[in-house]
Amino acid sequence: MTQVIKVSKAGINVGTATDPNSFIFDSTLNTFKIVATGTVLGTISAGGLGNTGTVSTAHGLSFIPPVVGFIRTTSSAGTTILHPTAEEQISADHIFRSIWADGTNVNFEIRVASDISGTVFNCRYYAFEVPL
Amino acid sequence: MGYKIASSKAGVNVGTATAPNDFNYSSDYNTLKYYTAGTIRVAGSAVFPNTNRYFGTITHGLGYYPFFSFFATDDSSATNFYPYGFVAVGAGGLTRTACARMGTNTMRFMYKITNASSGTISGTATFYYKIYRNNTNL
Amino acid sequence: MGYTMRVSLPSIDALTNGTIDQYSVYADSDNILIKEFSRGTINIANLALGTVNHNLGYIPLTFVFAKNGGSQAFLAGGDANSSFPATYTVGTGNVVITNNFSGTKTFNYFIFYDQGTTL
């Protein structure tokens, strides 16, 4: 007989529930694991409209991880964090183009607004487990 | 000696496994933990040849910048759920964009309409967001 | 009285540390872990669509990554003009990935039981 650990949501009988969404935790189901996370500060110079640069940091893993990330920017809209492919919310703003990982680094591709020079970006990545 | 809880995948020895992929769960690894979720609709229009931005804001009140995800749909194609927004070129020179940005206590969603065709074009974007407890520490 | 299960990360005292980020499991009712439904790989030709069926009947939380040479990029649904020109949408029965790269590419996906549009 297989032993399991389960925690059901409030009001749900853990002994009889079968829908995976009835559980907060179920040891028979894979839990999406964050295997590494980190931050990096990088500066990208403005170079006219559409100037794009990359901020990189080593992830220290032995494989190419799937990564999700966010960047913090400060503009006239205040200090906020952006998700990948977020467009500018005002006409002069930064764009977080993409995030990707290679065998060594996590890379944040950022397009700098044309009227803002020497912008420092604070970037956070989450590296997850390998699909296969 | 540290202790932990681990549950290996079927057929894998939990006592000897080391790779993250060998476990369904291991307390060695952090996880994404939900905080709240919801829906917000943002409507807008644009008269040729203008581009207009429309915003909607929700309050999460966490006091820090959290991990987040969201889907966005455009009412013109409501069966397509776009993760982290969309940049879509519609028929007749209409471009619609949906995206978001996160603050320490609020999250703001943007729906942008560009009318490169004629007349007035209207639309609505629906955002389905999930905000996590995980602090990005940004 | 409600019960919960909390498991701290290595070197963190589970009984005294109050920061949720320090827990691997924090199974209070408003902290719900992400539970995997399926994962896999799909190869999609240039300018083609690839479909991964899940048949869950609702919009599941989904992450898709594009492999390009020695890199793996996170895909958001939006911008086909980004450096990684691929997008995807999620429906109640499948995930549809559009490859706008110049050649055939491999895509890794994770689909979860967890709802993508509600808690």
pLDDT along chain A (132 residues), means of 10: 79 90 83 90 70 90 91 77 76 79 92 69 89 53
B33/C77 CB distance under 8 A: no
Average of pLDDT values for C29-50?
86
For C71, the closest of A83, A84, A100 (CB atoms) is A100
Residues of A in contact with B67 (CB under 8 A): 68, 70, 126
Query: What's residue B31's pLDDT?
Result: 85
For C26, the closest of B26, B33, B39 (CB atoms) is B33
The answer to whether B26 and B6 have CB atoms below 8 angstroms apart is yes
> Which three-class secondary structure state does DSSP give residue A131?
coil
- Residue indicated by tokens 């539970």: C35
**Closest Cα of chain B to C25: distance in Å?**
7
A86/B85 CB distance under 8 A: yes
For A129, the closest of B21, B53, B97 (CB atoms) is B21
Closest CA to C53 of C40, C66, C36: C40
Q: What does pTM read for this prediction?
A: 0.89
Average of pLDDT values for C84-105?
90
For C27, the closest of A7, A102, A132 (CB atoms) is A7
Query: What's residue B52's pLDDT?
Result: 93
Closest CA to B134 of B74, B57, B73, B66: B66
A76-99 pLDDT, tens per residue? Answer: 667 888 888 777 666 557 788 889
Q: Which of A91-105, B8-22, B76-90, B122-136 is the least confident region? A: B76-90
Q: Chains A, B: CB contacts under 8 A, how many?
A: 98
Cα R_g (chain C), whole angstroms: 18
Q: Which of B46-50, C23-27, C71-75, C86-90 is the least confident region? A: C23-27
Residue B3 CA: distances (Å) to CA of B20, B22, B121, C14: 17, 18, 61, 11
The answer to whether A54 and A33 have CB atoms below 8 angstroms apart is no
Chains that touch C (3 or more CB pairs under 8 A): A, B
Average of pLDDT values for C82-102?
88
Q: Write down the ipTM of this complex.
A: 0.85
Query: What's residue C4's pLDDT?
Result: 74
> Which three-class secondary structure state does DSSP give residue C4?
coil
Q: What percent of chain B has pLDDT over 70?
A: 94
Q: Chains B, C: CB contacts under 8 A, how many?
A: 112
Nearest residue of chain A to residue C5 (CA atoms):
A7
**Closest Cα of chain B to A47: distance in Å?**
24
